[in-house]
């Protein structure tokens, strides 16, 4: 029973009649406006679109501001204070100005774009851009290539070409010169642009003997703890890899893990992000304890894991939650894309 | 879907009528043209067509293989999909259908699990706990959940619009016949509480869906809408015969609040005329008050609607007789003579006749047989109960207002009233599609054993499956034909005892596995239904797909996951080909990722674990060389020996490995490799020399003197080692 006076988590589900490939909050241009960038795929017309919607605070409905037609479906989408960057399954990358995108009077189009045979072959699996970073966007693909694209002019340079011998599925900047990639077999690679040629550290992903292996789908690095990266992937796995203790991953969630509580999910974890809204349970802020993390999964769970605590469930849907994003200016607000052609907005009290 | 024509279905068999099992109508032979947008420049050399998902064709268009080097930027071919035919039902768009499909999954699954637990309870001969609901109440919950997906026109109707000219409340959402049909089924088969006042439920139902029941002929609803558009232009409304006509019609079908509202538009209510038309106004108001006092046999009435409700039959009968007496009294009142306005007088008298249940007046006031039917319930036989008497009344009304081409809702209605479950199922399927029939079976069987036997009986002519299973399978087929809904199909397939699992396996194997995300969603379904065999098969398919597209890492990963040793060994030899060329110092970095993936010893790798050991050997060697480190050198020797001892080390790598080992053999600080080890290496070298004579031997890319060099080094080392061991 709801206790009157205590605000409850509010959930709004918005049916879209188009498949939502990915969804992100855009940085607000004014305190009154909240908008999101959504990658849609219309199966009836067989056409993808990238749309900017403003969210009505009262009715929680989305109003279209602007729309752009990408060359193919969007495979990865990220936003920073200044830019939104989207990659496609046909191997092109597009950068947008975050402020222009929310302005109905200006044409919504990509500022720069990178593609071509030398860039990526096939699907780009992950992109990332860093606030206050080098203004370079890192892109990784199943073709095993790692590229850096300058957002100012769209020129790109190759960091690594795995020639298909490896496939990368996720990427995240850790510092202006370092980033982490993830791939098959729960593998993580730490790259340092000051030491080019290959990854400077590798995590082998044998989390435990006898476990089934899987694919990393999402990585996050907290700006205050650049040596630790958080990764989510197959079989409900969420773990942290600390560069200082490279052979001891900290498993936060996953199957066949006897020590931790019953995992919320046993299926694919599609996305993980540090959750700055959930306050860590420990008062004395220990640096060895991991920060709370949010994840979404194929079996329809949006949950928060805090090391050493019971995981909490924010949303349990009958269908998969494919992506989510926490609003950085207003971290109580979470937006999710659901498998059944809809969007859910979770407003925490 | 082609169906048997209604005329010859009785005869049956291939030899009836014209000898065809499924008669074609000639108009289906009209050819349709679908433009292809492949965007390729001519000449097109080849086109191949195959079936894609659902009703789409996959057309592959190939260009002439181009010898002209200038145009090498162009693609050699393209695959385009052509969707044949368009949306199934004009009323409901594809996107809405998908929304309904998504939304009905949870209620359906919940009801099935409840059914299973109830069945297991009764199998254990336990009496259900008194707190448990009756089965029909569960079905009712299911029906309400599903019904809410189909739109809710009622919420819009309840708000009467304040504008005095706006007689007929506008509906925000157009009612759908799917919802109308669902409500009919719920009303007749599930809702036990409404059985006592079924006629009144039908009155409400008609108020909601009157606009749907006829396509070409007018209905009371269409007449009202038409009149409303003209109402502003009318100066003296009561002079218009249509005004009185409409009031009678609305009264006949029981839309009392609209009648009262219309009556209050009468000119005698206007302040400037009230003095002159006092009697007339009195009569109008008297009728309006009588109407608003009409007794209704129902538990409650929606806000905004009028009438006095009675739950118990004796109370109602008393009120009904009193009300009728008041009408008769008014009818024979002396005031009528004083009423000068002819139209008003006749119109009001006509209304009194309707309320007194004059069949002829009712018949002339209504358009459709269903409207006449409803008016019978309201004014002639308010106590009609039992489907049999309802059916005979419906037949009577149908005869009076015969339509040649009844609407699908009316066909369903007749089927329900006629208590013919087979007809109801057939009409659900014909008129409302596979979704409807798959879900409405639950309603049909909620309270009727007869229907339960009908749909659950295993039929020889259906290959041993029941009607219920048949309809679920058909619906699942429809779901699997769409990119977005196929993931729902397993829910329905697994509820089918006989053929469900088989079809599920076929469905899963047919899904495209090109994208990892799709594959993973597929594998998740396999995991849920414990289909491990299918799951490995899918991973194998995906592995081979990635291999063919040059993503060797992905391929190895999926084949490892599938435990497919055979294919891993198969691709190993191809991988070694490229290793042989590229593995040297710098380029080893590319292999690093793949080698990490292969994991250490003990893991399944189909001979690929060789790469791991080879890499370790190379690493140690590099260390030993660059730092002149004896420990590293000893480690290198160990890896060398394990490589040469291991049977999985391909023969073609023996010489390159031995050639690398020359540095260890000529180690300055004394022999690192002892006599026994040297002998083993010499034996390997001997074996290699023999193998080189075979025609299929692959020569490593090494200097021509490499073999002699190795042989010389080994011999020297042997000498040093023997001396060292003395």
pLDDT digits (tens, 9 = 90+) for B299-340: 888 777 888 888 888 888 899 999 999 999 888 888 888 877
Express each pLDDT in B694-714 by its tens digit: 777 766 667 777 778 888 888
* Residue keyed to tokens 């340092």: A192
Within 8 A by CB and 6+ apart from B685, the residues are: B654, B658, B707, B710, B711, B714
Range with the poorest average pLDDT among A35-49, B345-359, B489-503, B582-596: B582-596
Say if residues A34 and A333 touch (Cβ distance below 8 Å).
Answer: yes
Say if residues A122 and A142 touch (Cβ distance below 8 Å).
Answer: yes
Average pLDDT value for residue range A113-142: 86
Which chain B residue's Cα is nearest to A89? B515
Q: Indicate the DSSP class of residue A244.
A: G
Q: Which of residues 169-188 of A touch B (CB under 8 A)?
A: 169, 183-185, 187
B→A interface, C-beta within 8 Å: 81, 93-96, 98-99, 102, 105-106, 482-484, 487, 515-516, 520-521, 524, 527, 546, 549-554, 557, 560-561, 589-594, 596-597, 599-600
**C-alpha dist (Å) from residue B120 to B123, B127, B132, B445, B590:** 5, 11, 14, 19, 59
Facing residues of A326 across strands?
Answer: A334
Q: Does the beta-carbon distance from B551 to A143 stay under 8 Å?
A: yes
The alpha-carbon gap from B562 to the nearest alpha carbon of chain A, in Å, equals 11
Q: Does the beta-carbon distance from A198 to B561 stay under 8 Å?
A: no
Looking at residue A302, its pLDDT comes to 92
What is the rounded average pLDDT for all residues in chain A?
Answer: 85
Which chain B residue's Cα is nearest to A46? B81
Question: With an 8 Å Cβ cutoff, is A303 touching chain B?
Answer: no
Q: Which tokens hold the place of B25? A: 């109508």
For residue A18, list chain B residues with Cβ-Cβ distance below 8 A.
Answer: 95
Average pLDDT value for residue range B518-539: 90
Range with the poorest average pLDDT among A112-121, B188-197, B527-536, B690-699: B690-699
Say if residues B514 and B551 touch (Cβ distance below 8 Å).
Answer: no
Highest mean pLDDT among A114-118, B153-157, B370-374, B575-579: B370-374
Among A42, A163, A237, most B C-beta atoms within 10 A, so best to mutate, is: A163
Looking at residue B162, its pLDDT comes to 39
B589: confidence class by pLDDT, cuts 50, 70, 90: low
Average pLDDT value for residue range B672-701: 78
Please give the share of chain B, as a percent, with pLDDT higher than 70: 84
Q: Does the beta-carbon distance from B593 to A162 stay under 8 Å?
A: yes
Evaluate if residue A49 carries a pLDDT over 90.
yes
Nearest to A254 by CA among A270, A275, A239: A239
Tell me which residue in B93, B516, B549 faces A215 most closely, judged by beta carbons. B516
Which chain B residue's Cα is nearest to A234? B520
Looking at residue A20, its pLDDT comes to 94
Tell me which residue in B484, B594, B599 faces A43 most closely, judged by beta carbons. B484
Highest mean pLDDT among B147-156, B537-546, B635-644: B537-546
The alpha-carbon gap from B505 to the nearest alpha carbon of chain A, in Å, equals 20
Question: With an 8 Å Cβ cutoff, is A14 touching chain B?
Answer: no
Q: Which tokens hold the place of A48? A: 């993808």
**Number of neighbours of residue A233 by Cβ within 10 angstroms:** 32
Express each pLDDT in B33-66 by its tens digit: 777 777 777 778 888 888 877 777 888 888 877 6
Q: What is the number of residues in chain A?
A: 349
Tell me which residue in B81, B99, B527 faces A17 most closely, judged by beta carbons. B99
Question: With an 8 Å Cβ cutoff, is A198 touching chain B?
Answer: yes
Q: How many helices (H) and strands (E) does chain A have?
A: 1, 28
Express each pLDDT in B13-24 by its tens digit: 434 444 444 455
Q: Is A202 helix (H, G, I), strand (E, B) or coil?
A: strand
Looking at residue B107, its pLDDT comes to 92
For residue A43, list chain B residues with Cβ-Cβ distance below 8 A.
Answer: 482-484
Average pLDDT value for residue range B507-512: 87
Within 8 A by CB and 6+ apart from B636, the residues are: B617, B620, B621, B623, B624, B664
Q: Indicate the DSSP class of residue A111.
A: S
State the number of CA atoms in the 13 A half-sphere of A40 facing the CB.
25
The alpha-carbon gap from B596 to the nearest alpha carbon of chain A, in Å, equals 6
Nearest to B471 by CA among B504, B424, B436: B436
Facing residues of A336 across strands?
Answer: A324, A344
Question: With an 8 Å Cβ cutoff, is A197 touching chain B?
Answer: yes
DSSP code string of B281-343: HHHHHHHHHHHHT-EE-SS---TT---EE-SSHHHHHHHHHHHHHHHHHHHT-THHHH---HH
Looking at residue A265, its pLDDT comes to 82
The terminus-to-terminus CA distance of chain B in angstroms comes to: 93
Looking at residue B12, its pLDDT comes to 39
Say if residues B255 and B236 touch (Cβ distance below 8 Å).
Answer: no
Within 8 A by CB and 6+ apart from B359, the residues are: B380
DSSP code string of B238-272: GG-HHHHHHHHHHHHTT-HHHHHHHHTTSGGGSHH
Q: Does the beta-carbon distance from B102 to A341 stay under 8 Å?
A: yes
Average pLDDT value for residue range A45-55: 89
State the number of CA atoms in the 13 A half-sphere of B324 facing the CB.
14
**Number of neighbours of residue A130 by Cβ within 10 angstroms:** 20
Q: Give the whole-angstrom CA distance, residue A207 versus residue A186.
A: 8
Evaluate if residue B155 carries a pLDDT over 50.
no
Identify the H or E element spanning B121: helix B94-123
Q: Which tokens hold the place of A229? A: 């990266």
Backbone φ and ψ for A251, nearest 5 degrees, come out as -85, 120
Looking at residue A324, its pLDDT comes to 94
**C-alpha dist (Å) from residue B77 to A26, A227, A233, B74:** 39, 48, 36, 9
For residue B593, list chain A residues with Cβ-Cβ distance below 8 A.
Answer: 144, 162, 165-166, 183, 187, 189, 202
What is the rounded average pLDDT for all residues in chain B?
Answer: 79
For residue A122, list chain B residues with Cβ-Cβ distance below 8 A.
Answer: 549
Average pLDDT value for residue range B182-201: 85
Q: How many helices (H) and strands (E) does chain B have?
A: 32, 5
Which chain A residue's Cα is nearest to B97? A17
Average pLDDT value for residue range A224-228: 86
Say if residues B203 and B253 touch (Cβ distance below 8 Å).
Answer: yes
Please give the share of chain B, as a percent, with pLDDT higher than 90: 6
The alpha-carbon gap from A40 to the nearest alpha carbon of chain B, in Å, equals 13
Express each pLDDT in A276-287 by its tens digit: 887 765 554 566
Looking at residue B89, its pLDDT comes to 54
Evaluate if residue B682 carries a pLDDT over 50.
yes
Question: With an 8 Å Cβ cutoff, is A331 touching chain B?
Answer: no
Which chain B residue's Cα is nearest to A270? B517
ipTM over 0.95: no
Burial string for B223-262 (b: 16+ CB within 10 Å, else e) reads: bbeebeeebeeeeeebebeebbbbbbbbbbbbbbbbbbbb
Say if residues B691 and B697 touch (Cβ distance below 8 Å).
Answer: yes
Within 8 A by CB and 6+ apart from A40, the residues are: A16, A18, A19, A20, A21, A48, A49, A50, A51
Tell me which residue in B95, B484, B552 faces A164 most closely, judged by beta carbons. B552
Evaluate if residue B109 carries a pLDDT over 50.
yes
Q: Does the beta-carbon distance from B553 to A161 stay under 8 Å?
A: no
Which chain A residue's Cα is nearest to B94? A44
Q: Does the beta-carbon distance from A167 to B527 stay under 8 Å?
A: no
Report cis status (omega within 30 of 0) of the bond before B43: yes
For residue A144, list chain B residues with Cβ-Cβ distance below 8 A.
Answer: 551, 553, 590, 593
B159: confidence class by pLDDT, cuts 50, 70, 90: very low
Say if residues B80 and B61 touch (Cβ distance below 8 Å).
Answer: yes
Q: Does the beta-carbon distance from B553 to A143 stay under 8 Å?
A: no
Express each pLDDT in B267-296 by its tens digit: 888 888 777 788 888 888 889 999 988 988
Range with the poorest average pLDDT among A138-152, B21-35, B208-222: B21-35
Q: Does the beta-carbon distance from A339 to B554 stay under 8 Å?
A: no
Say if residues B564 and B543 touch (Cβ distance below 8 Å).
Answer: yes
The alpha-carbon gap from B610 to the nearest alpha carbon of chain A, in Å, equals 16
Q: Cα B94 vs. chain centroid, distance in angstroms?
A: 10
Which chain B residue's Cα is nearest to A322? B517
Express each pLDDT in B599-610 by its tens digit: 554 455 666 677
Q: What is the largest CA-CA distance in chain B?
A: 148
Average pLDDT value for residue range B204-213: 85
For residue B99, list chain A residues with Cβ-Cβ distance below 8 A.
Answer: 15, 17, 340-341
Looking at residue B90, its pLDDT comes to 64
Spell out where A69-194 has E strands.
Answer: 74-79, 83-88, 93-97, 112-114, 124-128, 136-141, 145-150, 156-161, 168-175, 178-183, 188-192
Q: Does the beta-carbon distance from B524 to A164 stay under 8 Å?
A: no
Identify the H or E element spanning A270: strand A269-274
Q: What contacts 24+ positions apart, CB below 8 Å, involve A135-138?
A: A137/A85, A137/A93, A137/A95, A138/A171, A138/A173, A138/A179
Q: What is the number of residues in chain B?
A: 726
Tell me which residue in A17, A185, A267 faces B95 most closely, judged by beta carbons. A17
Q: Which tokens hold the place of B504? A: 């599920």
The alpha-carbon gap from B482 to the nearest alpha carbon of chain A, in Å, equals 9
Q: Does the beta-carbon distance from A165 to B552 stay under 8 Å?
A: yes
Facing residues of A128 across strands?
Answer: A138
Looking at residue A281, its pLDDT comes to 59
Q: Does the beta-carbon distance from A268 to B524 stay under 8 Å?
A: yes
Say if residues B553 and A165 touch (Cβ distance below 8 Å).
Answer: yes
Evaluate if residue B73 carries a pLDDT over 80.
no
């Amino acid at each position: 029973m709801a206790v009157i006076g205590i605000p409850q988590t509010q959930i709004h589900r918005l049916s879209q009649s188009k498949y939502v490939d990915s969804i992100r909050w855009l940085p607000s241009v004014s305190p009154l406006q909240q908008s999101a960038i959504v990658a849609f795929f219309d199966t009836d017309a067989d056409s993808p679109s990238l749309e900017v919607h403003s969210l009505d605070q009262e009715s929680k409905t989305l109003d279209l501001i602007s729309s752009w037609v990408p060359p193919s479906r969007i495979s990865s989408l990220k936003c920073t204070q200044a830019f939104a960057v989207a990659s496609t399954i046909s191997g092109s990358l597009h950068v947008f100005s975050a402020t222009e995108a929310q302005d109905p009077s200006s044409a919504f189009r990509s500022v720069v774009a990178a593609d071509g045979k030398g860039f990526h072959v096939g699907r780009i699996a992950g992109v990332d851009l860093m606030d206050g970073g080098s203004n370079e966007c890192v892109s990784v693909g199943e073709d095993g290539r790692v590229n850096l694209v300058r957002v100012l002019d769209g020129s790109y340079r190759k960091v690594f070409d795995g020639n298909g011998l490896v496939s990368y599925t996720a990427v995240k900047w850790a510092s202006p010169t370092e980033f982490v990639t993830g791939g098959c077999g729960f593998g993580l690679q730490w790259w340092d642009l000051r030491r080019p040629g290959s990854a400077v550290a590798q995590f082998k992903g044998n989390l435990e003997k006898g476990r089934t292996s899987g694919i990393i789908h999402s990585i996050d690095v907290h700006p205050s703890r650049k040596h630790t990266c958080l990764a989510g992937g197959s079989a409900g796995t969420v773990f942290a890899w600390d560069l200082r203790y490279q052979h001891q991953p900290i498993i936060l969630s996953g199957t066949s893990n006897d020590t931790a509580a019953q995992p919320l999910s046993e299926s694919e974890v599609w996305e993980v992000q540090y959750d700055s809204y959930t306050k860590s349970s420990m008062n004395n802020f220990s640096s060895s304890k991991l920060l709370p993390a949010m994840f979404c999964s194929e079996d329809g769970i949006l949950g928060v894991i805090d090391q050493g605590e019971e995981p909490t469930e924010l949303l349990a849907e009958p269908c998969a939650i494919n992506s989510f994003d926490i609003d950085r200016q207003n971290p109580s607000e979470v937006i999710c894309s659901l498998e059944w052609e809809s969007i859910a907005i979770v407003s925490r009290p | 879907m082609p169906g048997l024509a209604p005329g010859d279905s009785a005869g049956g068999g291939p030899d009836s009528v014209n000898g065809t099992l499924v008669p074609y109508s000639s108009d289906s032979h009209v050819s349709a043209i679908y433009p292809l947008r492949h965007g390729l420049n001519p000449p097109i050399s080849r086109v191949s067509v195959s079936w894609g998902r659902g009703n789409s064709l996959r057309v592959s268009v190939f260009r002439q293989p181009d010898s002209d080097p200038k145009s090498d930027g162009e693609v050699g071919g393209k695959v385009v999909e052509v969707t044949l035919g368009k949306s199934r039902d004009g009323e409901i768009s594809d996107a809405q259908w998908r929304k309904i499909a998504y939304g009905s999954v949870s209620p359906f699954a919940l009801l099935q699990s409840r059914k299973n637990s109830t069945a297991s309870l009764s199998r254990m001969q336990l009496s259900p706990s008194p707190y448990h609901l009756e089965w029909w109440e569960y079905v009712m919950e299911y029906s309400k959940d599903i019904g809410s997906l189909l739109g809710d026109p009622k919420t819009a109707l309840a708000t009467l619009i304040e504008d005095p000219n706006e007689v007929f409340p506008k509906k925000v959402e157009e009612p759908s016949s799917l919802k109308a049909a669902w409500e009919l089924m719920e009303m007749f088969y599930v809702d036990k509480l409404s059985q006592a006042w079924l006629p009144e439920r039908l009155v409400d139902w008609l108020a909601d869906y009157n606009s749907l029941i006829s396509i070409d002929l007018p209905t009371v609803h269409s007449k009202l809408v038409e009149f409303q558009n003209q109402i502003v232009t009318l100066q003296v409304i009561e002079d218009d015969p249509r005004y009185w006509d409409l009031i009678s019609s609305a009264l006949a079908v029981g839309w009392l609040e609209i009648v009262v509202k219309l009556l209050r538009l009468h000119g005698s209510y206007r302040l400037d005329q009230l003095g002159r038309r006092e009697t007339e106004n009195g009569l109008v108001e008297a009728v309006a008050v009588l109407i608003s006092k009409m007794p209704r046999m129902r538990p409650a009435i929606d806000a905004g609607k009028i009438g006095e409700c009675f739950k118990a039959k004796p109370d109602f009968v008393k009120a009904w007789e009193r009300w009728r007496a008041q009408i008769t009294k008014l009818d024979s009142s002396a005031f009528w003579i004083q009423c000068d306005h002819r139209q008003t007088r006749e119109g009001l008298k006509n209304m009194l006749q309707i309320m007194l249940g004059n069949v002829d007046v009712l018949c002339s006031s209504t358009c459709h047989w269903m409207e006449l039917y409803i008016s019978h319930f309201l004014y002639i036989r308010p106590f009609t109960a039992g489907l049999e008497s309802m059916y005979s009344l419906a037949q009577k009304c149908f005869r009076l207002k015969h339509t040649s081409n009844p609407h699908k809702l009316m066909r369903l209605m007749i089927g329900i009233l006629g208590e013919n479950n087979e007809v109801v199922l057939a009409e659900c399927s014909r008129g409302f599609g596979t979704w409807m029939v798959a879900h409405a079976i639950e309603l049909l069987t909620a309270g009727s054993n007869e229907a339960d036997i009908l749909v659950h009986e295993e039929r020889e002519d259906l290959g041993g499956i029941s009607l219920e299973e048949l309809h679920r399978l058909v619906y699942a087929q429809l779901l699997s034909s769409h990119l977005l809904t196929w993931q729902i199909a397993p829910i329905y397939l697994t509820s089918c005892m006989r053929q469900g699992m088989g079809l599920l396996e076929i469905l899963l194997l047919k899904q495209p596995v090109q994208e990892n995300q799709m594959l993973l969603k597929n594998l998740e379904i396999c995991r849920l239904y414990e289909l491990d065999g299918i799951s490995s098969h899918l991973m194998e398919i995906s592995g081979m797909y990635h291999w063919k597209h040059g993503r060797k890492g992905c391929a190895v990963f999926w084949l490892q996951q599938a435990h497919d040793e055979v294919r891993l060994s198969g691709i190993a030899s191809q991988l070694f080909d490229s290793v042989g060329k590229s593995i040297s110092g710098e380029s080893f970095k590319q292999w690093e990722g793949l080698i990490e993936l292969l994991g250490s010893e003990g893991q399944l790798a189909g001979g690929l674990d060789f790469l791991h050991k080879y890499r370790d050997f190379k690493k140690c060697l590099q260390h030993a060389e660059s730092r002149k480190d004896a420990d590293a050198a000893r480690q290198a020797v160990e890896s060398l020996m394990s490589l040469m001892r291991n049977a999985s080390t391909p023969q073609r790598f023996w010489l390159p490995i031995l050639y690398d080992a020359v540095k260890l053999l000529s180690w300055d600080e004394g022999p690192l490799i002892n006599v026994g080890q040297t002998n083993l290496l010499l034996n390997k070298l001997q074996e290699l020399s023999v193998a080189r004579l075979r025609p299929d031997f692959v020569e490593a890319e090494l200097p021509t003197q490499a073999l002699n060099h190795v042989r010389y080094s080994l011999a020297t080392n042997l000498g040093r080692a023997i001396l060292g061991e003395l």
